[in-house]
Amino acid sequence: MSDTIFIRGLVIHARHGVMEHETAVGQRFVIDLDLTADLSESSRTDRLADTVSYSNVVASATAAFKDDNYRLLERAAGAVADAILADFPKITTVRVTVHKPHAPIPAIFDDVGVTLTRSRS
């Protein structure tokens, strides 16, 4: 199956990072989600009950991302992936990309981040 729901550019202010000022002040993060699910029924019925609510996914991802102050983006992305798989049984695979555009790196760059893909066992 190759049905995908995607959410791009979810902006969240959070206090993740290794450096003290990152956890004190926080910064802007951007999350992209790719969710694999069987959308064949909802594509025929046009009923929300037959698919996954984007709004509910955003709420779940936001809560998971902001629940704790993680040191690593890998852990923050993992928390989002775990929450989505736990909250939405119709989703079989989730791909989470967390962008940290203002990472404290002494260089000029457009973006840094991580992408994790997790599937149901």
Nearest of 102, 90, 89 to residue 12 by alpha carbon? 102
Mean pLDDT, consecutive 10-residue stretches, the chain (121 aa), reads 92 90 89 97 96 97 95 96 98 97 90 96 76
The predicted structure's pLDDT at residue 20: 85
Instruction: Determine the 3-state secondary structure of 72 from DSSP.
Output: coil
Paired with 4 in beta bridges are 36
Instruction: Please state whether the predicted TM-score (pTM) of the whole model is above 0.75.
Output: yes
Q: Among 74, 100, 103, 120, which one carries the catalytic annotation?
A: 100
> 17 φ, ψ to 5°?
150, 170
| Residue range 4-119 in CATH 3.30.1130.10 | yes
The answer to whether 90 is a known catalytic residue is no
Show me where the domains of the chain are located: 4-119
The predicted structure's pLDDT at residue 5: 98
